[in-house]
Amino acid sequence: QKEVEQNSGPLSVPEGAIASLNCTYSDRGSQSFFWYRQYSGKSPELIMSIYSNGDKEDGRFTAQLNKASQYVSLLIRDSQPSDSATYLCAVGPNQAGTALIFGKGTTLSVSS
C-alpha cells in the first residue's frame, strides 16, 4: 500500500527561526508533491507544489525534493506565530488515474 509518512509533532520553534518539516513516501514512481497548510478548524489550503528534484522557493517557503531518497521537505524561514498550523504532505502517485495520498500532517507551533 502506498504511504506518505510525516512526524506528527508538535514541532515547536521560536519566532524568527527556521522550521523544517519532513515527509517520506513509498511509491518510487511518484510525480507530484504538495504541501497543504491547515489551520485549526479550517480546511487544507495549498501553499507549495514541487515536481522535480531540487529546491523551489516562494517567499519564506522552500520546498525540497529528493526522489532518490523518496523525501520531500518544507522549510519556513523567519517563522511567525501565524505559521502555527498543521502541514499536510500530499503525493501524486505514478499510476494514472490515481488520487493524491496525504500524510497525517505535522503540527507546527511558533512561539513569540
> Torsion over CA of 8, 3, 76 and 20, rounded to 10 degrees?
60
| Stretch binding other proteins (CB under 8 A), from 12-20, 61-69, 70-78, 94-102 | 94-102
Per CB under 8 A, does 109 bind other proteins? no
Number of Cβ within a 10 Å radius of residue 70: 17
Q: Which of residues 18-37 bind other proteins (CB under 8 A)?
A: 31-32, 34
Q: Which of residues 46-85 bind other proteins (CB under 8 A)?
A: 46, 49, 51
- Residue in 91, 96, 89, 97 with CA at minimum distance from that of residue 37: 89
User: Among 16, 42, 53, 58, which residue interacts with other proteins (rule: CB under 8 A)?
Assistant: 42
Question: Rounded to whole angstroms, how far apart are CA atoms 85 and 28?
Answer: 28
Q: Least distance from C-beta 10 to other proteins, angstroms?
A: 13
- Residue in 103, 84, 112 with CA at minimum distance from that of residue 11: 84
| Nearest CB to other proteins, comparing residues 84 and 105 | 105
Nine-digit cell string for 56: 523551489
| Stretch binding other proteins (CB under 8 A), from 15-23, 62-70, 77-85, 89-97 | 89-97
